Amino acid sequence: MLAEVEVFGPRSCQVQPHADEEWSVSSVSRSATNGDADRVLEEFTLKGGDDHPGALQSELPNVDHVFAYDQRHVFQVSRAAEQGCVCERIEAAGCVVQKFTADTESIVVTFLVDDMPTLRDIVADLQSEGETVKLRRLLEDTSTETDQPVVLDRAKLTNRQREVLSQAHQMGYFEHPRDATAGDVAEALDISTSTFTEHLAAAQRKLLADLLDSR
């Protein structure tokens, strides 16, 4: 299965803090530092606006600007290994990280996971690393006869919840970085931001219950 989780306010990530209002992290890779198992070198890419990213003014001795191309800047961060960051926690569970993005609020990680019990354990573990953890997407491989597709019952949603989900999707609220804020979607629906978030949370709970309870 391919899972995508969003972690808000990650505590151990040393890449996400370099994102700012105009520049987001579009990729990250990690390798050992000169064969030293106790340290790792993370290379990340910032993409964004016309001005230079704030990371260029970083005075931290372990952050290096490598090169720039097409409104992208590549940096390297040298740090101690096994700090319990999101990617390390996911990989410790035997999963393969395929994609990493980040903005000023959160990070989004896409990874391969074998089964639902492992995914539940990962989400539970990540809850100690961030302020909030959300499962954004789950794709199951149903190519074999023994696999069972996940059925999402839309009838569980109220008309208002379906309208909120549809509007949020159309406006790019679920993109990363987001194309619209909660306030933008709420204004388009002519409701308050708090009402929008309440409907959205209720709809997500119902849909995730189907996903996470599937066998």
Structural domain count of the chain: 2
Q: Which domain, by its residues, includes 7?
A: 2-139
| In a shared domain, residues 127 and 159 | no
Given a cut of 90, whether residue 109 has pLDDT beyond it is yes
pLDDT at 213: 61
Given a cut of 60, whether residue 107 has pLDDT beyond it is yes
| Confidence (pTM) | 0.63
Mean pLDDT of 45-65: 80
> Who wins on pLDDT, 176 or 9?
9
pLDDT at 204: 82
Domain final residue pick, 100, 115, 139:
139
Mean pLDDT of 23-27: 92
Judge whether 11 and 126 are in contact, CB under 8 Å.
no
As a whole-number percent, the residues of the chain with pLDDT over 70 amount to: 85
Domain final residue pick, 87, 109, 139:
139
DSSP letter at 82 equals: -
Q: Residue 183 and residue 189: Cα distance in Å, rounded?
A: 10
If 0-12 CB within 10 Å is exposed, 13-18 middle and 19+ buried, where does residue 122 land?
buried
Tens digits of per-residue pLDDT, 183-200? 889 999 999 988 988 888
Beta bridge partners, 108, equal 6, 101
Given a cut of 90, whether residue 24 has pLDDT beyond it is yes
Sign for the CA dihedral angle at 113, 109, 13, 70 comes to positive
Tens digits of per-residue pLDDT, 163-186? 998 898 888 888 766 778 888 899
Mean pLDDT of 144-151: 51
| In a shared domain, residues 122 and 28 | yes
DSSP letter at 141 equals: -
In this prediction, residue 108 has a pLDDT band, given cuts at 50, 70 and 90, of very high
CA 144 to chain centre: 29
Helix (H, G, I), strand (E, B) or coil at 8: strand
| In a shared domain, residues 61 and 125 | yes
Mean pLDDT of 84-100: 91
Structure tokens at 81: 């290994």
pLDDT at 183: 87
pLDDT at 145: 46
Give the helix/strand (H/E) hosting 102: strand 96-102
Q: Residue 112 and residue 90: Cα distance in Å, rounded?
A: 9
In this prediction, residue 106 has a pLDDT band, given cuts at 50, 70 and 90, of very high
Helix (H, G, I), strand (E, B) or coil at 52: coil
| In a shared domain, residues 25 and 87 | yes
Domain final residue pick, 79, 105, 139:
139
